[in-house]
A and B are shown apart, each in its own frame.
Chain A
């Protein structure tokens, strides 16, 4: 990172600062200025940093993305948007990083439950937010979090009071409509004691899905937009509470996506993550989980890369207390010249006896030019623990292809069947029907090969 990129952003900052939410809150002003200072010093992370060895963000540095300060909900076709909304969910829509009330569906929330934009929450619930915002994701961790803290324009705020079980899922729909835009959002989700919730994060651009650009009325019809998404979500799952978080990332094929999910689990809390990374030219997910006593987390991931996509997943699970369980399975399918990265760290602290941890990463390379770098890491400081990890990188099994051929299936279809079956294991874990169908559709559309048939399920 050259600090010149950082200083270019920093020079712009005073021009937009007044338009950022929470300017009247001293604690937030303080946080933002500390983060800005940090970002000015270190900029975006460089491949010289160990955690960023495989992630080259120089593409981001060549451009200067600008925040979109005007609300552009008019640009969004309601019918198109509806296709991306999850049926029977509360939907909060962010257009270019700004909340759009008219596009959102937030009626009939149970009493005591907050689902609102971050900007609104800073206006009406600042005291509730103060102890949480910035406490799970420190701006000192790396340049993207500092950047996010300084620049965030909006986000999602969810608060579920204790013992309340939300029957319907909450969806936050991130839409980008223009080129060279940066959308910087900060979200906070708090699930109080013994409460239960499901949250879906969807990232799409008006260009539509990867390699399937819709023709539009503008002059850039059919050309994917380059833009930057930097989204940080801080999650607090309190005593015996339960949260399932789904992330569906189908950004434009020229987009840069940095997504960070930072989760703190209290005693006996349960957290399940389903992370679908399909879009973007360069995308990276950081998922950090801190596990309390006897808490459980399950991290599932599927990344599909083609052409020159770079898809990066970094997970870090910290077993801080005893008796916690972590389960992790990430699967990748890489074709063309795509590159995938999986870095999975599990840290077991000295006090975390009886830890039970399993981590698996399985990859399928469909072309000679596709590449994956996988790096599972176990750091164990306790002596009575059960930890396992496994990694596979391979091609389709020739014996399986021949078996299917001998059962009348042509070779290309046989390859598709096997690839699809490999990926579909992760799609099948989705328990919300309408989301399941949408993700499945995305897998079918984005699949590197043709002829995939839903009937194979």
Chain B
């Protein structure tokens, strides 16, 4: 699904990622953990194509293609989905319109016809129920006036409808209370499949109580300093990040 090889990324003159290596196979869930400033968010931004970063070395190959060479919208149409840490409010553009426009551009990209209006509505309403959202959110402007929890649910709703192959989740648990965290996690778990992979960037272990990762990687000072199974997250929760950082230093 995704191979990252010796990836180096800078912001301005400052190196942030200093040689990331990562291989994600179809169906796997990888958690990227690490302290603030370790480069976690940079990694998710670079993979989804946000501007402001310079790739100074290495590569990221997605389904055999050079991911870093694609415009952000092409990555999205190819099946890469970024669930934002801070979803952006887009006033004047309705939620349901954006969903439909996004879905249709994916279908067009894959050479399929536009979705039937009635089928689309049925699909959307099913997913809205799954995420315990109010239908009225569909007709409001994208994220405008939504609470933190509602915004995160809306991200998962988009993910559920667009059915991406690679989901990058940037600090999805931040700002969520325990009930919202459960709903969001159930939404994500329902999307798990042998063809779909997840990269979950998170500071805390608590999200991983609900979404069990196959692999856990610890990012510190722009490098993966330790990798392991789900048990590594528990160890981090117990001991904090300093022991892995010290182990490297």
Contacts and interface: CB of A to CB of B under 8 A. Distances in A.
Our verdict on whether A and B bind, yes or no, reads yes
Given A398-B51, A406-B49, A406-B82, A417 B93 contact: yes
A405 B73 contact: yes
A404 B71 CA distance: 12
B106 interface: yes
Nearest to B109: A408
Interface stretch (A45-53, A249-257, A365-373, A418-426): A418-426
B90 A421 contact: yes
Given A455-B97, A456-B97, A405 B72 contact: yes
10 contacts: A397-B88, A402-B51, A406-B48, A406-B50, A407-B98, A409-B73, A409-B98, A418-B90, A425-B91, A457-B97
A384 to B, nearest CB: 32
Contacts of B91: 421, 425
Contact of B76 (A400, A405, A456): A405
A408 B90 contact: no
A417 B177 CA distance: 33
Nearest to B100: A455
Contacts, number: 79
Interface residues of B, number: 30
A424 B92 contact: yes
Among B81, B88, B93, which residue has the most Cβ atoms of chain A within 10 A? Answer: B93
A411 interface: yes
B105 interface: yes
Contacts of A411: 71, 73
A404 B76 CA distance: 10
A456 B101 CA distance: 9
A455 B96 CA distance: 11
Contacts of B35: none
A167 interface: no
A429 interface: no
Among A399, A409, A420, which residue has the most Cβ atoms of chain B within 10 A? Answer: A409
A410 B92 contact: no
A103 B58 CA distance: 72
Among B75, B84, B92, B106, which residue has the most Cβ atoms of chain A within 10 A? Answer: B92
Contacts of B81: 406
Pairs A-B, 8 closest by C-beta atoms = A421-B92, A403-B88, A405-B72, A408-B105, A408-B102, A408-B76, A407-B102, A405-B73
Given A398-B51, A402-B51, A408 B92 contact: no
B87 interface: yes
Interface in B86-128: 87-88, 90-94, 97-98, 101-102, 105-106, 109
Contact of B87 (A403, A422, A455): A403
Among A399, A403, A411, which residue has the most Cβ atoms of chain B within 10 A? Answer: A403
B97 A403 contact: no
Given A405-B49, A408-B106, A409-B105, A400 B77 contact: no
Among B49, B72, B102, B109, which residue has the most Cβ atoms of chain A within 10 A? Answer: B72
A446 B76 CA distance: 31
B97 A405 contact: no
A404 B82 CA distance: 11
Contacts of A404: 90, 93, 98
Contacts of A417: 90, 93
Interface of A: 397-400, 402-411, 417-418, 420-422, 424-425, 455-457
Nearest to B103: A408
B223 interface: no
Given A408-B105, A409-B101, A411-B71, A420 B51 contact: no
Interface string B22-54: 000000000000000000000000001111000
Given A402-B51, A403-B88, A410 B93 contact: no
A421 B77 CA distance: 24
A397 B90 CA distance: 10
Contacts of A408: 73, 76-77, 101-102, 105-106, 109, 162
Contacts of A405: 49, 71-73, 76
Given A404-B98, A407-B98, A425 B73 contact: no
Contacts of A420: 92
A456 B93 contact: yes
Given A405-B72, A408-B106, A410-B71, A425 B77 contact: no
Contacts of A422: 92
Contacts of A410: 71, 73
Given A420-B92, A455-B97, A406 B72 contact: yes
A281 B48 CA distance: 44
Contacts of A402: 49-51, 72, 88
B33 to A, nearest CB: 23
Interface string B2-39: 00000000000000000000000000000000000000
Contacts of B197: none
A144 B164 CA distance: 62
A399 B72 CA distance: 13
A457 B97 CA distance: 8
Contacts of B98: 404, 407, 409
B121 to A, nearest CB: 15
B202 interface: no
A425 B101 contact: no
B158 interface: yes
A406 B76 contact: yes
Contacts of B97: 455-457
Nearest to B99: A407
A418 B71 CA distance: 19
Given A406-B49, A408-B77, A418-B92, 14 more contacts: A402-B49, A403-B88, A404-B90, A406-B81, A406-B84, A408-B73, A408-B105, A409-B73, A409-B102, A410-B71, A420-B92, A425-B91, A455-B97, A457-B94
A253 to B, nearest CB: 27
A420 B91 CA distance: 10
A400 B88 contact: yes
B158 A407 contact: yes
